[in-house]
Amino acid sequence: MTEKKSFEPKQPVKLDPPKYDPISVEELSKCDGTDPNRPIYVAIKGIIFDVSRNSAYHVNGSYHVFTGKDSSRALALSSLKPEDCRPDWYDLDEKDKGVLEDWFTYFSKRYNIVGKVENATNL
């Protein structure tokens, strides 16, 4: 029997209703943990998640590289390289697209959706 992936968090997470207000790439870039007055955002397929509460995304955290941008490609490729932290994913193979979809599910169960990337072309 194949194992069904659910990606449920170990501790229940209470999420707010999702917001899909457009947020510009420029504003998103400021939400990378370097400004203490801004939240920390990661976008996947144009959808923006607020990851502020997880220190892994703070400056010097293991996954800080993903913040302030749409990092779909890096997540799909299981890559931490800054050059892979970009929005385009259409050209990837089906396996990598599946990995990306799994990460989208993972983030959806943990982090509030706070907006979408304005003029995103990678939905």
**According to CB under 6 A, which residues from 30 to 59 bind ligand HEM?**
54, 56
Phi, psi of 97 (to 5 degrees): -65, -35
| DSSP-assigned states of every residue in 43-97 | EETTEEEE-TT-GGGSTTSTTGGGTTSB-HHHHHHT---GGG-SS--TTS-HHHH
Q: Which of 8, 19, 20, 78 binds ligand HEM (CB under 6 A)?
A: 78
Q: Is 75 in the site for ligand HEM (CB under 6 A)?
A: yes
Is 48 or 75 the residue whose CB approaches ligand HEM more closely?
75
Smallest gap, in angstroms, from Cβ of residue 56 to ligand HEM? 5
Is 79 or 105 the residue whose CB approaches ligand HEM more closely?
79
